[in-house]
A and B are shown apart, each in its own frame.
Chain A
Amino acid sequence: MNETLNVAIIGGGFAGIGTAIRLKQKDVEDFALLERGTAAGGTWRDNTYPGAACDIPSRLYSYSFAPNPDWSHTYSGSAEILGYIEHMVEEFDLRPHFRFGHNVIDVRWNDATSLWDITFDAQPPMHARTVVMASGPLANVSFPAIRGLDTFTGHKIHSARWDHDYDFTDKKVAVIGTGASGVQIVPELVKVAKSVKVFQRTPGWALPRVNFETRQTTKDLYRRFPTAQTAARKAWFWGHESVALGVVWNSPLTRVVEAVGKVHLRRQVEDPWLRRQLTPDFRAGCKRLLMTSEFYPALQKDNCTLVTWPIATLAPDGIRTVEGIEHQADVIVFATGFDVCKTGTPVPIRGRGGRVLADEWSGGAKAYKSVSVAGYPNMYFTFGPNSGPGHSSALVYMEAQIDYLVEAISHALARDLVLDVREDRQQEYNEDLQRRLQKTTWNSGCSSWYLTEDGFNATMFPGFATQYVGQLRAVDYEDYSVSECRPLSRSSR
């Protein structure tokens, strides 16, 4: 008989671990963290490239229910964040719940048993009364659609799958991509490489990132008086909330954000043509804002060149750009981001009556408050559709989702219920959401990973973090159709 769990959490990153902690705190112990890798940490386990760091202050990029007084700087590097994640795993005794090497390949609702049947590629299947899809939006790497991608015979590295054995010393390096990871990698590579060519398709708005070291006295204060740390977190929270006025909505304050970006660029880049190449032609916030004080100076180092010519093709020895030159390289670093699921699902998910979620989301993902999807009972998403913040910490949003779904799960488990969000409520929610999105910077006319190719915004939440958290404060069971579990499901417990 295959194992049957109360809760299967798919993904052992920040969201999965947060869910596990909150489930334990609600005395739900019969759960497993299904992790395809061999270690916890998700995005922060995978993103270990030089310079990898969070661009949200650590005080806010951490769970309020797992405070850490020891953050070393305002913004933490990936190693420190991964250390925090591992610390949570130990502190909350989550290790026994992890099932490493469990790569989920199919999740299917069984009407007869009121259970989810979960299939793995190299493990026996299992069943679960509830599934939490905590696979995260930044799990699968994305290579750009460049001609001749496989013809390059040199070394290729993706930022999220860094090759720590490769020695960049005295190498000719090409970096494709100038997004959030690109601007962090380049300053590190110029320190060691013989030459670095940075291939930029679209410049992003960059704001200065002031990263102070945390004094020992401050750490001691937070340790002795946790309320001081909570107050600091709130201060960061409200600071970021105020930024929403310019970053979320296309408003006069957006011009203020742009002005800050332009002053930053002007202060750091002297050459007018280079400045022009680095000046975005879209509203600030439309694409993810970059937080960096190191990128522009790095670009102007003698061994660094910004290339803005379109890439024609990759060739065995390098990158051919449309101005006719082959830019030869020993290694190409792809800082080209992730395959964010906007029109599909990370694994095949089949709901009631065999409906396929990927088909339903083919025109753009939709959910109820980003956590539930009609027809997929007892399944919850963390970082589901339209839950992305443009101005605040993803963990603030994630924490709200976790508290919501843990409440719903413990309620349903205690009463043997199947909760399926109502289709009409989901539709109403999304109509309102899409109407509100029209006024945001993300929908102001640029193309970004926030939008589908048709311009549908399936990723961002059009409001303050306060509003997002507020809508998830309590589970409104009237918005769900509630039924009892089939006897088979109960007997399998």
Chain B
Amino acid sequence: MAFDFEDMLVKIKDKQWALVDIDWDAPGAETIGPELWTKLKPFMSDLMWIENVGARGFAAMATKAPTETLKEIYTYFHAEEQKHANAELALMRRWGMLDGDEIPQPNINVKLVIDWLDKYSDQTSLAVLGTVIPMLEVALDGALVKFIVDEIDDPVCQEVFKRINSDESRHLAVDFQVIELLGHAKMRRILVETVGAWMKPSLIIGTLRYIPLLNKMRDNIVDMGVDEQRLYSAMGRFKKVGERSEFPRRLPMYRFITWHSGVVIDRAHPYHKLADGLVRLTSKYPKRLLRPQPTWSKELTYEPVA
């Protein structure tokens, strides 16, 4: 049966929730012990920032959506990712991880991605963003969020991530449907668009920022005590779900992303020499070369009301 985007949009609107729906002062915050607290802080910060960059990705996708309905869906996803980031920030505040009104700083790899998204995402094709963003979402949904749900007992946190998971399942359903739609295009068009995309230095720069981001994510979750296999099986799921139909395989960008995820999860692959090297290199990236942080990345808030 054909996917009904209209129906999905109605469902998205029906499932809206707000930060005020959650009792942030309810008991349970004390379940986070000091050891977990220390590890959780950078983890939550990364998670929040990745949601925020995902949000910006959807904002860019909305501008090139082929239909008004899909455009509206992406506009909602943009806001929902921001809501997830806001909710995660509110959890950090609940757990006493914020110093006053402080918003945790993104790590350098996230900063590089923010910088890239700010400069290039609006000019990047749907075929590129529409395959990269789902990969990040699969990793988020399948590894990081799952880890939180499994390891943290705080009922408020459970409630928040139940809602986030529910949103993300709709995001993934649309993401994969769009990949399939893109795969229906004529091969000549697909090839012209792919060559066109890779001719742009922005995509090379973006790839060089995406590669260390993934490995850095892996390092961070390993530091948390998460089995990195979780991330790998989540990334493997991208290929598994994507290839339930023949069409995604017609997309060179999809093939590249699945190949890339394949080498990422193969720890013995020489790729990791490059990726880990890039992580080390980017950790020394001179901050003065980064443009000022864009205002869209300063809109995060833990306040349920404004």
Please tell me if the beta carbons of B295 and A320 are within 8 angstroms of each other in the complex: no
Interface hit among A33-41, A103-111, A321-329: A321-329
Tell me the chain B residues, 271-306 only, with Cβ under 8 Å from chain A. Answer: 294-296, 299, 301, 303-306
**Interface presence of B215 (CB below 8 A):** no
Quick one: given A274-B295, A321-B79, are A326 and B305 in contact (CB under 8 Å)? Answer: yes
CB-defined contacts of B306 to chain A, threshold 8 Å: 325-328
A-B contact count (CB 8 A): 67
CB-defined contacts of A325 to chain B, threshold 8 Å: 18-19, 86, 301, 303-306
Please tell me if the beta carbons of A323 and B86 are within 8 angstroms of each other in the complex: yes
A-B contact pairs, 24 of them (CB 8 A): A271-B295, A272-B118, A272-B294, A281-B63, A309-B82, A310-B75, A310-B76, A310-B79, A312-B13, A312-B18, A322-B16, A322-B80, A323-B79, A323-B83, A323-B86, A324-B17, A324-B82, A324-B83, A324-B304, A325-B305, A326-B18, A326-B20, A326-B305, A328-B305
**Interface presence of B122 (CB below 8 A):** yes
Quick one: given A324-B19, A325-B19, are A273 and B294 in contact (CB under 8 Å)? Answer: yes
Q: In the complex, how many angstroms separate the beta carbon of A134 from the nearest chain B beta carbon?
A: 35
Please tell me if the beta carbons of B295 and A323 are within 8 angstroms of each other in the complex: no
Tell me the chain A residues, 269-295 only, with Cβ under 8 Å from chain B. Answer: 271-274, 276, 281
CB-defined contacts of A309 to chain B, threshold 8 Å: 79, 82
Tell me the chain B residues, 208-235 only, with Cβ under 8 Å from chain A. Answer: none
CB-defined contacts of B63 to chain A, threshold 8 Å: 281
CB-defined contacts of B296 to chain A, threshold 8 Å: 273
Per-residue contact bits, chain B 1-45, to A (CB 8 Å; 1 contact, 0 not): 000000000000100111110000000000000000000000000
Q: Which of B18, B87, B122 has the most CB of A within 10 A?
A: B18
Q: In the complex, how many angstroms separate the beta carbon of B298 from the nearest chain A beta carbon?
A: 9
Kindly list 8 other residue pairs between chains A and B, CB separation below 8 angstroms, not including A273-B295, A323-B82, A325-B301: A273-B296, A274-B295, A309-B82, A310-B75, A317-B305, A318-B305, A322-B16, A324-B83
Q: How far is the CA of A447 from the CA of B122 in the complex (A)?
A: 22
Number of interface residues of A (CB under 8 A): 24
The 3 closest A-B pairs by CB, nearest first: A322-B79, A324-B83, A312-B16
Q: In the complex, how many angstroms separate the beta carbon of B124 from the nearest chain A beta carbon?
A: 14
Q: How far is the CA of A276 from the CA of B63 in the complex (A)?
A: 11
CB-defined contacts of B118 to chain A, threshold 8 Å: 272
Q: How far is the CA of A326 from the CA of B19 in the complex (A)?
A: 8
CB-defined contacts of B68 to chain A, threshold 8 Å: 447
CB-defined contacts of B76 to chain A, threshold 8 Å: 310, 322
B interface residues, Cβ below 8 angstroms from A: 13, 16-20, 63, 68, 72, 75-76, 79-80, 82-83, 86-87, 118, 122, 294-296, 299, 301, 303-306
Output the nearest chain B residue to A172 by Cβ-Cβ distance: B306
Q: How far is the CA of A470 from the CA of B83 in the complex (A)?
A: 56
**Interface presence of A230 (CB below 8 A):** no
Output the nearest chain B residue to A274 by Cβ-Cβ distance: B295
Q: How far is the CA of A178 from the CA of B221 in the complex (A)?
A: 44
Q: In the complex, how many angstroms separate the beta carbon of B216 from the nearest chain A beta carbon?
A: 25
**Interface presence of A72 (CB below 8 A):** no
Q: How far is the CA of A324 from the CA of B300 in the complex (A)?
A: 11
Please tell me if the beta carbons of B295 and A324 are within 8 angstroms of each other in the complex: no
Q: How far is the CA of A321 from the CA of B82 in the complex (A)?
A: 11
Q: How far is the CA of A274 from the CA of B298 in the complex (A)?
A: 12
Q: In the complex, how many angstroms separate the beta carbon of A152 from the nearest chain B beta carbon?
A: 14
Q: In the complex, how many angstroms separate the beta carbon of B165 from the nearest chain A beta carbon?
A: 15
CB-defined contacts of B294 to chain A, threshold 8 Å: 272-273
Output the nearest chain A residue to B87 by Cβ-Cβ distance: A324
CB-defined contacts of B16 to chain A, threshold 8 Å: 312-313, 320, 322
CB-defined contacts of B80 to chain A, threshold 8 Å: 322-323
Output the nearest chain A residue to B80 by Cβ-Cβ distance: A322
**Interface presence of A147 (CB below 8 A):** yes
Q: How far is the CA of A163 from the CA of B304 in the complex (A)?
A: 30
Please tell me if the beta carbons of A324 and B75 are within 8 angstroms of each other in the complex: no
CB-defined contacts of A324 to chain B, threshold 8 Å: 17-19, 82-83, 86-87, 304
Output the nearest chain B residue to A317 by Cβ-Cβ distance: B305
Per-residue contact bits, chain A 313-344, to B (CB 8 Å; 1 contact, 0 not): 10101101111111110000000000000000
Q: How far is the CA of A119 from the CA of B83 in the complex (A)?
A: 53
CB-defined contacts of A147 to chain B, threshold 8 Å: 13
Q: How far is the CA of A447 from the CA of B305 in the complex (A)?
A: 32
Q: How far is the CA of A403 from the CA of B88 in the complex (A)?
A: 66
Q: How far is the CA of A317 from the CA of B17 in the complex (A)?
A: 16
Q: In the complex, how many angstroms separate the beta carbon of B293 from the nearest chain A beta carbon?
A: 11
Tell me the chain A residues, 111-130 only, with Cβ under 8 Å from chain B. Answer: none
Q: How far is the CA of A312 from the CA of B19 in the complex (A)?
A: 12
Q: In the complex, how many angstroms separate the beta carbon of A203 from the nearest chain B beta carbon?
A: 12
Output the nearest chain B residue to A195 by Cβ-Cβ distance: B306
Q: In the complex, how many angstroms separate the beta carbon of A329 from the nearest chain B beta carbon?
A: 10
Q: How far is the CA of A464 from the CA of B86 in the complex (A)?
A: 51
Please tell me if the beta carbons of B295 and A322 are within 8 angstroms of each other in the complex: no
CB-defined contacts of B75 to chain A, threshold 8 Å: 310
Output the nearest chain A residue to B299 by Cβ-Cβ distance: A323
| Other-chain contact of B83, A273, A322, A328, A447 (Cβ < 8 Å) | A322
Q: How far is the CA of A313 from the CA of B305 in the complex (A)?
A: 14
